[in-house]
Amino acid sequence: MFNDFFMSSKAKIKKERESDPSRKRVSRYARGNVSIQRGNYVTKKEKEARKAAVLSYDFSEA
């Protein structure tokens, strides 16, 4: 169950990243860094969204 959710959300994120024109620009001008060329980096907006998601988790036992 968790794996299905994880894989579907990962595919959704990848699709959103591929359609982002700024990522295409970065990959075009990134020279020598294959990770950046492939789009493997996190923007400030993505980092803040991830932080908010983690902070919203409820780790207490109910």
pLDDT digits (tens, 9 = 90+) for 2-54: 555 555 666 776 677 677 787 777 777 777 778 777 777 888 988 999 899 88
pLDDT of residue 27: 74
Cα torsion 18, 9, 43, 32: sign: negative
pLDDT of residue 52: 92
